[in-house]
Structure 1
Amino acid sequence: MEVTYFGHSCFLLDMGGTKVLFDPFITYNSLASEVDKEAIEADFILVSHAHQDHMADAEYFAKKSNGTIVAIYEVCEWYKAKGIENVVHMNIGGKADLPFGTVKMVTAAHSSVLPDGTYGGNPGGYVVESGDKTFYFAGDTGLTYDMKIIAEQYHLDFAFLPIGGRLTMDIYDAVTAANWVNTKKIIGMHFDTWPNIEIDHIEAMEAARQAGKELVLMQIGEKINL
């Protein structure tokens, strides 16, 4: 499974030839100014919640690539009003069988409002089963006991967890979250985009090491295989 990082919480995963883009936020991210949006193709766009820094480019990619937006009901309806017909409505606890695998929407402890100020539904995360890999994309969240349910239902290979603090978990809560969902590999997200979520990379790596976790901090534009 090839993973490309475009900054903040935006990742493109190639799952057996299907391109799945998570939380697209490139246009307004100054750290991602070198990313060429035109070169990115997305068959599916998974949106964790309605804040602009997680959905700013979802409409662009849905229209550019004729991609399908997967999101909570209210977000899907918002995009349908913009003329996007390819949507998959979800809500917390629901599952969808998609060409690349199965997606379950799970709880996130955060807030959510659409860019125009209208109600954006509940925030969420996703557990994805694709081929021989199962992973958790947490979205924006604080530490919550609901994460323990994931370990009871799935065996995770890795987890995308926010680590920037202030607006989400920090690295210390993230390693606890990794324990609760029972994974050793953390791909960090939601860090360094703005001053209030800048992290000390060395401190974060050491915190993960001491907790027996592998923390992966990708560079913008970097590709890795998981």
Structure 2
Amino acid sequence: MKLQQIRNATIILDLGPYRVLVDPMLARKGALPPLRLFVARQRNPLVELPAEAPAALDSVTHCLITHCQKGHFDHLDRAGIRWLREKKLPVICTPHDAAYLSAQGLTVQPLLAAHEQPGPFLNGIIRTVRCTHGLGLVGKLMEHGVGYFIEMPGEPSVYLAGDTVLTSTVREFVAKHQPDVCVVPAGGARFDFGGEIIMGVEEVIEFTRLCHGKVVANHLEALSHCPTTRTELSKAAMSAGVHLMVLEDGETVAF
């Protein structure tokens, strides 16, 4: 298996003959609105797609969406929708998102299995894992979505945590399944009120201690409400004595 970090939560997974694009945010730098009103009011994304992106996207065979409604453009924006529509690629998603994505003119393949139950995915199996995209009042306003646990013949198992804080659900799932590779959101995103809506430094370090496999951090340095930097996260992991992979945009790693 290969994993290529594109930008923010957008990655590409090489799984045997398949190249799966996850949560495409493909807009140009500054094309999307700010995510905070009183501080960090920059337009998003903060950076352009990496130079490697066009060639990487050209060979994608499928798309996988963790969540996309209630304005979550950082996981599927208009540019991503246009690109998927033009390419006519199959878009795999939860039943909850199927009608919304179909209304965008996309070729939708909804998953059928219940949460944490195995269902068919390409030539392997997939499970969904509940996300908690923030707690308290801010959590009530969010689209929580899912993470995905993918097992393919001859490939390492991979858990895409999705946009979530570190909950008992996530802890228990990792302890039970111990994925070979985990991809976790690490930007410490927050709005003008409430707490973090995805993992920040401390929760990523705790997650990494729970997991026996490799852990890859993303959701970094691309959105105005994500203050955690790659340098900060790497230094914290080194200080904690844990091995955490912090990829640059465009970088590919093989497992």
Q: What's the TM-score once normalised by structure 2's chain length?
A: 0.75
**Aligned equivalent of 2:226:** 197
**Aligned equivalent of 1:72:** 94
| 8 Å CA contact 2:148, 2:160 repeated in 1 | yes
| Aligned partner of 2:170 among 124, 130, 147 | 147
Residues 1:52 and 1:196: Cα distance change in structure 2 (over 3 Å)? closer
What secondary structure does 2:187 align onto? coil
Greater relative contact order (Cα 8 A, min sep 6): structure 1 or 2? Answer: 2
| Aligned partner of 1:47 among 65, 68, 74 | 65
**Aligned equivalent of 1:168:** 198
Equivalent-residue separation in structure 2 for 1:190 and 1:123 (angstroms): 16
**Aligned equivalent of 1:31:** 47
What is the percentage of aligned positions where both structures have the same residue? 21
Equivalent-residue separation in structure 1 for 2:22 and 2:98 (angstroms): 15
Which whole-Å deviations, capped at 9, do the CAs of 1:1-43 have from their partners, x for residues lacking one?
1221111011011111201111111215341344576531322
| 8 Å CA contact 2:127, 2:150 repeated in 1 | yes
| 8 Å CA contact 1:32, 1:220 repeated in 2 | no
Residues 1:6 and 1:200: Cα distance change in structure 2 (over 3 Å)? closer
What number of residue pairs does the alignment pair up? Answer: 218
Q: What's the TM-score once normalised by structure 1's chain length?
A: 0.84
Q: CA deviation at 1:136?
A: 1.1
Higher mean displacement: 2-11 or 70-79:
70-79
Q: CA deviation at 1:110?
A: 0.9
Equivalent-residue separation in structure 1 for 2:224 and 2:105 (angstroms): 36
| Unaligned runs of at least 5 residues, structure 1 | 112-118
What secondary structure does 1:6 align onto? strand
Which whole-Å deviations, capped at 9, do the CAs of 1:140-173 have from their partners, x for residues lacking one?
1111011133234323112111111133110210
Moved over 4 A (4+): 34-38, 119-122
Equivalent-residue separation in structure 1 for 2:22 and 2:125 (angstroms): 15
Equivalent-residue separation in structure 2 for 1:155 and 1:86 (angstroms): 30
Counterpart residue type for residue 49 of structure 1:
H
Residues 1:193 and 1:174: Cα distance change in structure 2 (over 3 Å)? same
Equivalent-residue separation in structure 2 for 1:140 and 1:59 (angstroms): 20
Higher mean displacement: 66-75 or 52-61:
52-61
**Which of structures 1 and 2 has the bigger CA Rg?**
2
Residues 1:33 and 1:178: Cα distance change in structure 2 (over 3 Å)? closer
Equivalent-residue separation in structure 2 for 1:30 and 1:121 (angstroms): 22
Equivalent-residue separation in structure 2 for 1:58 and 1:71 (angstroms): 15
| 8 Å CA contact 1:31, 1:193 repeated in 2 | yes
Equivalent-residue separation in structure 2 for 1:87 and 1:60 (angstroms): 17
| Unaligned runs of at least 5 residues, structure 2 | 29-44, 135-140, 191-196
What secondary structure does 1:141 align onto? coil
Higher mean displacement: 208-217 or 163-172:
208-217
**Aligned equivalent of 1:208:** 237
Q: What value does the CA root-mean-square deviation take over the aligned residues?
A: 2.5
Equivalent-residue separation in structure 2 for 1:212 and 1:132 (angstroms): 28
**Aligned equivalent of 2:125:** 102
